[in-house]
Amino acid sequence: MPITLASDNAATALPVWTATRDGLDDLPEAARRWAKATRFEAGAGQVLLVPDADGATAGAVLGLGKAAGTGEGAAARRTLAAGALATHLPAGDWQLAEGADLDGSLATLAVLLGGYRFDRYRTGREDEDAAADIRFAPPGDVDAAEAQALAAGVSLTRDLINTPTSDMGPAELEAAARALADAFGAAVTTIEGDALLEENFPMIHAVGRASASAPRLIDMRWGRADAPKVTLVGKGVCFDTGGLDIKPASGMLLMKKDMGGAANVLGLAHMIMACGLDVHLRVLIPAVENAISANAFRPGDILHSRKGKTVEIGNTDAEGRLVLADALALADEEAPQLLIDMATLTGAARVALGPDLPPFFTDDDGFAGDLAAASMAVADPVWRMPLWAPYAANLSSRVADINNVTSDGFAGAVTAALFLQGFVEKAESWSHFDVYGWRAKASPIGPVGGEAHATRALFQVLKARFPRR
């Protein structure tokens, strides 16, 4: 990591002042003069190095853009500009100046996130791509260990999504889950291949059977057995051709990220375990590749599910909800206190809310309220959308209990959530997150590529409800 947190350097660390576009006059005199002389505009994420009389670096100014508005979450979103420090500061010891108008915990996390790079496949460019060795002293009230745990969870999610399917198929996703489990003393079991039929996971098997890499259900457990049950289910479609309803070439370019739900729940699991939250954590990942071969499942097929429902296949490209349904049915059998699934599920969610604002669906108003507040506080946005029950009729089938798609194409994210809801009965609280799993534009806290969505907000809710014992 190019960024390290070190409190022992606070006495000698150089200051980082902050300034809005119209707030340059509030800077120390030398910094103010230099900002004026260089026509520094203090745009969000701009960084200005300030020299001393001898030409050495005396500090830096972090631009915050326009003064924060009064809208909920505006100050937190502005704080994320601190992530730019990771790529714009020279090597050395740094800290936020006294009086910096930023939340110290969120700014520290932003700096760590801003230092992320995915360089697994880059060769021969070590000197060009080498990042400065920055030692950042967090403010004294910051829980540095928690900030590092959250950053590590986000980085894990990003790494998993960024890795191409040639190195991140169902078997490799299982290996990643086992590596995480080993790091925290969790237990992992896997049901693989035709054993899925023997153990009654017929839809996971049907979706994944055409791939050269056998489908599997990954099941990880951690925490004391009598702690509150929190179960995370992540869609692990390691690549999605669309199946026999094949996608166009352009539609496959980002399909390595179709396991983004699995990557997100593994990142969240890392946060939970690293911070020792008092839960009995279960992580379920149906890991498959939706491939094409002679034994691929077909449009018009009728699949049996673990829950007993029959599902008519209206489109093989709506495979994620099928594998999730079997995994959710298993999770539901334990009646967990919280059941959360995450999936890169529908293009409709992106049409409605764009790539950076994932919708979530739940009937639990208390959980929804807590999550909305947390998402604003940590600048990890989510937006609640309705489980509009009348639309469930649009999933009807003339020959089976339900179809996996609607015929009219309306409200695709809502009807997908309603499909999943039909496989959950016993959980005290269930929530579904339709995430994109990708950062489409670079920002101070991360480059273009795989991204964690909603996990930091979810962690805050879980931390408040199930603190460390």
Which of 140, 159, 189 finishes a domain?
140
Give residue 66's pLDDT: 87
Candidates 257, 306, 321, 350; catalytic one: 321
How many CA atoms lie less than 13 Å away from 217 in the CB half-sphere?
Answer: 30
In this structure, what CATH number is given to the domain that contains residue 216? 3.40.630.10
| 186 and 117 housed in the same domain | no
Distances (CA, A) of 93 to 49, 137, 148: 14, 7, 18
| 70 and 33 housed in the same domain | yes
Q: Which domain holds residue 378?
A: 147-465
| 163 and 94 housed in the same domain | no
Candidates 21, 66, 77, 247; catalytic one: 247
| 395 and 333 housed in the same domain | yes
- Assess whether 247 carries a catalytic annotation: yes
| 225 and 300 housed in the same domain | yes
Give residue 70's pLDDT: 62
In this structure, what CATH number is given to the domain that contains residue 96? 3.40.220.10
Q: What is the DSSP letter of 428?
A: S
- Assess whether 321 carries a catalytic annotation: yes
| 301 and 386 housed in the same domain | yes
| 115 and 161 housed in the same domain | no
| 158 and 122 housed in the same domain | no
| 116 and 170 housed in the same domain | no
Which of 107, 140, 173 finishes a domain?
140
Dist CA 329 CA 306 (whole Å): 7
User: How many domains is the chain partitioned into structurally?
Assistant: 2
| 296 and 231 housed in the same domain | yes
Dist CA 269 CA 184 (whole Å): 10
| 208 and 161 housed in the same domain | yes
Mean pLDDT, consecutive 10-residue stretches, the chain (469 aa), reads 82 94 92 96 96 94 83 89 96 93 94 96 67 87 96 98 98 98 98 98 98 98 97 98 98 98 98 98 98 98 98 98 98 98 97 97 98 97 98 98 96 98 98 98 97 98 95
Position 313, amino acid: I
Dist CA 284 CA 282 (whole Å): 7
Does the pTM surpass 0.85? The reply is yes
Dist CA 160 CA 168 (whole Å): 7
Q: 171-177 contacts: CB < 8 A, separation 24 or more?
A: 171/213, 171/214, 171/216, 172/238, 173/218, 173/236, 173/238, 173/259, 173/262, 173/285, 173/287, 174/216, 174/218, 174/287, 176/266, 177/218, 177/220, 177/266, 177/283, 177/285
How far does CA 165 lie from the centroid of its chain?
A: 18
Which of 140, 168, 183 finishes a domain?
140
Give residue 130's pLDDT: 53
| 253 and 398 housed in the same domain | yes
Dist CA 350 CA 328 (whole Å): 23
